[in-house]
């Protein structure tokens, strides 16, 4: 396949931004990665990110900068890979310099206060939702960095944008599918992190594989109910950005959200865990926002509610598990 070589700006030098930048450079693009930390950027400039990937080598030729406007200047594609709480600020900073670029939201979750999905925030700030795409699916950053086989989904309400972004990212072992169901993809990406916390908690206190399977399955039902209420499609929930990402995040050893859940299940406090983690676990931020959105829409999400009670300190992991088991009996397709 003939590839159009572009300048791509990756905003965010965490694990996911670094992995995507390295992949895009390996695909032949001219890639600039931006981050706030001068030490991190110096590291990236010589092909490393020792904070997140000790011992790993990045694709050669990456350009790294702490100057946001330098990063986006002339870029045909801009990838937003910062934590959810920083998405609006970063987009506002580049708004006047991103008029012609395709914008890829690679962050997952909801904005605090508005409870809007991040692609909505990006589209609002930049003023053209048709230029915005969402990249999601089962993809641990370390495996993408190592060029392991990966399949993801790009969603955009513009078919042209979806195809353009898919072409930009599709390379070697990194396979990209497209969809117009932005809502379904966003719901899957946000809620799977919350369910992964719950699965980790139960595994942490040795609740058993039966319980793990039940939580994943009923967690998928929560994703489906919320997606349906917001206008998403059921087939998206059963695809890469729904079931695929949930399975990976809830069971994979590289999952930060699962790791937080495991440690909570073993009795550690959330403060202790987050202080030692060194990275963002988006499910902790997303859980109360997801629950607030679900409540507003009248959608029952008991697993999400149980996670919120644990991370707020209102209820223990074990008590939350008992609460879920003691709920009124219902048909399986009921909330």
The reply to whether 192 belongs to the active site is: yes
Asked whether residue 332 carries a pLDDT value surpassing 80, the answer given is no
pLDDT digits (tens, 9 = 90+) for 147-191: 999 999 999 999 999 999 999 999 999 999 999 999 999 999 999
Asked whether residue 329 carries a pLDDT value surpassing 80, the answer given is no
pTM of the model: 0.94
From CA 325, how far away is CA 214, in angstroms rounded? 11
Q: Which of 239, 42, 316, 279 is nearest to 141 (CA)?
A: 279
Structure token digits, residue 335: 């909330």
The rounded mean pLDDT for the chain is: 94
How is domain 7-180 classified at the CATH fold level? Answer: Rossmann fold (3.40.50)
Where do the structural domains in the chain lie, given as residue ranges? 7-180, 189-325
For a pLDDT cut of 70, what percent of the chain falls above it?
A: 99
Q: Determine which one of 108, 192, 289, 309 is catalytic.
A: 192
pLDDT digits (tens, 9 = 90+) for 86-142: 999 999 999 998 888 999 999 999 998 899 999 999 999 998 899 999 999 999 999
Distance of alpha carbon 223 from the chain centroid: 15
From CA 256, how far away is CA 152, in angstroms rounded? 19
The set of residues, in sequence order, having a beta carbon less than 8 Å from that of 215 and lying 6+ positions away, is: 195, 198, 199, 202, 250, 303
The set of residues, in sequence order, having a beta carbon less than 8 Å from that of 283 and lying 6+ positions away, is: 193, 194, 196, 197, 257, 260, 307
SS3 151: strand
- CATH code of the region 189-325: 1.10.1040.10
């Amino acid at each position: 396949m003939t590839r159009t070589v572009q300048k791509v700006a990756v905003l965010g030098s965490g694990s996911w931004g670094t992995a995507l930048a390295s992949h895009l450079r390996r695909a032949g693009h001219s890639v600039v990665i931006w981050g706030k930390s001068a030490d991190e950027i110096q590291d990236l400039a010589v092909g490393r990110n020792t904070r997140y990937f000790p011992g790993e080598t990045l694709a050669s030729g990456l350009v790294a900068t702490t100057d946001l406007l330098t990063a986006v200047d002339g870029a045909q594609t801009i990838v937003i890979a910062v934590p959810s709480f920083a998405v609006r600020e970063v987009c506002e900073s580049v708004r006047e310099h991103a008029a012609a670029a395709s914008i890829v939201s690679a962050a997952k979750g909801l904005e605090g206060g508005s409870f809007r999905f991040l692609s909505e925030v990006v589209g609002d700030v930049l003023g053209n939702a048709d230029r915005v795409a969402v990249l999601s699916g089962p993809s641990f950053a370390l495996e993408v960095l190592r060029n392991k086989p990966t399949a993801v989904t790009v969603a955009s309400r513009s078919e042209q944008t979806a195809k353009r972004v898919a072409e930009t990212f599709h390379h070697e072992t990194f396979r990209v599918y497209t969809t117009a169901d932005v809502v379904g993809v966003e719901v899957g990406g946000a809620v799977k992190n919350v369910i992964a916390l719950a699965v980790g908690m139960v595994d942490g206190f040795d609740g058993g594989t039966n319980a793990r399977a039940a939580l994943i399955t009923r967690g998928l039902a929560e994703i489906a109910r919320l997606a349906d209420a917001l206008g998403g499609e059921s087939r998206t929930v059963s695809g890469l950005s729904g079931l695929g990402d949930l399975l990976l995040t809830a069971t994979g050893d590289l999952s930060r959200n699962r790791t937080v859940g495991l440690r909570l299940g073993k009795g550690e406090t959330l403060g202790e865990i987050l202080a030692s983690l060194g990275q963002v676990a988006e499910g902790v931020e997303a859980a109360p926002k997801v629950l607030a959105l679900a409540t507003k829409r009248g959608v029952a999400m008991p697993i999400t509610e149980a996670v919120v009670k644990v991370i707020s300190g209102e209820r223990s992991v074990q008590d939350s598990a008992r609460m879920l088991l003691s709920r009124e009996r219902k048909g399986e397709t009921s909330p």
